[in-house]
Structures are given as structure tokens and as C-alpha cells.
């Protein structure tokens, strides 16, 4: 079964592309990876930002080729989406090896554990 992370198009992971695509200062989620010749986006890593998605994704420039993203309505919703992704993907096929950490100063728990 093909895994889907619910994000649309992928973009080249460069500072210019991130700035062009991510225009709001917002919490959000992202996936990092590459595109096959047939256009399939292969997820290698995923994560979130609780405050500034644009800045967080820029930390990964040079380590991955492409990115996908979506804005979250809150840090809690970004955390829950990251947890969902963590539990959905085969840990042997992605770089994420540890469970997502809850946002600072919160008592959020993973609904998938």
C-alpha cells in the first residue's frame, strides 16, 4: 500500500523555493525526499514547526532534494500530524527514528501510541 502524507506538489529544496512557496509565518508540517523519474515523491524524512515552517524547512537545505508542506492550524495539530506520519511509515525506509517530541510547555500526548 502506498503511503500518503496528505500534501500536494513537491518543490526543489532551495532557499528561493522555500521563500516563494511558504509565505505565511505559521505552524506546519513538511516532508523531505526526492522525486523518481516517473514523478513519485519518495519521503525520506518528515517533521513540523510549531511556529515558523519556512525557517524550519530551510534547516534541511543541502540534505534533501525536495519538500512538501502544509500549514497547520496550531502547534497541536502539527504535532498530531507528525505523530500520525511517524506511526504510518516503515522506520527502516525513512530517516525519522525517534517519536516526535511534544511542543514545549504542553501536555499533548500522541493519539497513536
Mind listing the pLDDT tens digit for each residue in 85-94? Answer: 999 999 889 9
Q: Is residue 48 domain-resident? A: yes
Distances (CA, A) of 74 to 12, 77, 93, 107, 110: 26, 5, 28, 14, 15
Q: What is the 3-state secondary structure (H, E, C) of 68-81?
A: EEEECCCHHHHHHH
CATH at residue 77:
3.40.1440
- Per the listing, cell 525557517 goes with 55
Number of domains in the chain: 1
Q: Is residue 25 domain-resident? A: yes
| Residues of the chain above pLDDT 70, percent | 93
DSSP secondary structure letter of residue 98: S
Q: Is residue 46 domain-resident? A: yes
Per-residue pLDDT of 65-75, as tens digits, reads 999 999 999 99
Residue 106, C-beta contacts closer than 8 angstroms, at least 6 positions apart:
75, 76, 79
Query: 45: domain range?
Result: 11-88
Amino acid at each position: 500500500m502506498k503511503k500518503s502524507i496528505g500534501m500536494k506538489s513537491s518543490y526543489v529544496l532551495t532557499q528561493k523555493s522555500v521563500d516563494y512557496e511558504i509565505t505565511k509565518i505559521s505552524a506546519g508540517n513538511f516532508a523531505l525526499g526526492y522525486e523518481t523519474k516517473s514523478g513519485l515523491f519518495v519521503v525520506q524524512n518528515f517533521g513540523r514547526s510549531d511556529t515558523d515552517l519556512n525557517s524550519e524547512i530551510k534547516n534541511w537545505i543541502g540534505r534533501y532534494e525536495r519538500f512538501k508542506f502544509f500549514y497547520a492550524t496550531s502547534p497541536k495539530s502539527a504535532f498530531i500530524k507528525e505523530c500520525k506520519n511517524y506511526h504510518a511509515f516503515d522506520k527502516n525506509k525513512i530517516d525519522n527514528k525517534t517519536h516526535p517530541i511534544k511542543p514545549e510547555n504542553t501536555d499533548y500526548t500522541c493519539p497513536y501510541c
